[in-house]
A and B are shown apart, each in its own frame.
Chain A
Amino acid sequence: SQTIHQWPATLVQPVGSPLSLECTVEGTSNPNLYWYRQAAGRGLQLLFYSVGIGQISSEVPQNLSASRPQDRQFILSSKKLLLSDSGFYLCAWSVRDRGDNSPLHFGNGTRLTVT
């Protein structure tokens, strides 16, 4: 069966420090991978989307970046965190080429607090 691992579960970082959140998927190949941010009382916001190794799409301007060094590994990074980066970060995957009806499978998230 497929599983998705996301770590760390919680993280407290000072403003200006770097960030690295990691996500790995097991039991599937060539997944679509996603990074979302969830703010309290608001819907999930898509940050990055990847259809393959080295292929990253981003629409929301921010000081975050993402990389996909391996097929089932997705990393969210920042060189210098801002207070506004605090939030709940979720990694997700879906089956590629299953069309619109492929469900998203989420990890258990990372609660990031920037102090």
Chain B
Amino acid sequence: KNQVEQSPQSLIILEGKNCTLQCNYTVSPFSNLRWYKQDTGRGPVSLTIMTFSENTKSNGRYTATLDADTKQSSLHITASQLSDSASYICVVSAGLTDSWGKLQFGAGTQVVVTP
């Protein structure tokens, strides 16, 4: 069973509108949670990294939140632009001493912004 679940699988939003993506995880012990943006046919690009003690972190129009108690995170996109069309991937890092296999990837949410 995947330890990182993202919802929705996909969504379509109008340019200029806001949207929120969800990430639930069961990874334990927890070290940090990351959000990546992946354009079609390209490699993922890091948006935010949050540790246990951080509740929110922003990167331009992207704001990530973390509730480590409920093991939930969200990514909020404000005033969406056509360039926001991409897959958004939630990645949770386990607090393991061995780096191998620490990162657990969600399947991503495909966002399409329409004019």
Taking a contact as CB atoms closer than 8 A, the residue among A57, A59, A106, A111 that contacts B44 in the complex is A106
Interface string of A31-47 (1 = CB under 8 A from B): 01000000001111110
Chain A residue with the shortest CB-CB distance to B51: A101
Instruction: List chain A residues, Cβ under 8 A from B42.
Output: 108-109
Q: A49-B100, A109-B43 are in contact. Are A103 and B105 (CB under 8 A)?
A: no
Chain B residue with the shortest CB-CB distance to A57: B100
Q: Is B95 close to A, CB under 8 A? A: yes
Are A104 and B41 in touch, CB under 8 angstroms? Answer: no
Q: How distant is the Cα of A51 from the Cα of B99 in the complex, in angstroms?
A: 10
Q: A43-B105, A59-B100, A111-B41 are in contact. Are A101 and B89 (CB under 8 A)?
A: no
Instruction: List chain B residues, Cβ under 8 A from A43.
Output: 2, 4, 89, 104-108
Instruction: List chain A residues, Cβ under 8 A from B32.
Output: 100-101
Chain A residue with the shortest CB-CB distance to B45: A106
Interface string of B92-115 (1 = CB under 8 A from A): 010100011111111110000000
Q: How distant is the Cα of A24 from the Cα of B55 in the complex, in angstroms?
A: 36
Q: How many residues belonging to A are interface residues under a CB distance threshold of 8 Å?
A: 24
Are A103 and B95 in touch, CB under 8 angstroms? Answer: no
Chain B min CB distance to A99 (Å): 9
Q: Is A82 close to B, CB under 8 A? A: no
Instruction: List chain A residues, Cβ under 8 A from B20.
Output: none
Instruction: List chain A residues, Cβ under 8 A from B93.
Output: 100
Q: How distant is the Cα of A34 from the Cα of B68 in the complex, in angstroms?
A: 28
Are A100 and B101 in touch, CB under 8 angstroms? Answer: no
Q: Is B76 close to A, CB under 8 A? A: no
Chain A residue with the shortest CB-CB distance to B4: A43
Q: A46-B103, A100-B93 are in contact. Are A109 and B51 (CB under 8 A)?
A: no
Q: A43-B107, A103-B34, A106-B43 are in contact. List 11 more A-B contacts (CB 8 A).
A: A6-B43, A42-B107, A43-B2, A43-B89, A59-B101, A90-B44, A92-B43, A101-B51, A104-B44, A108-B41, A109-B41
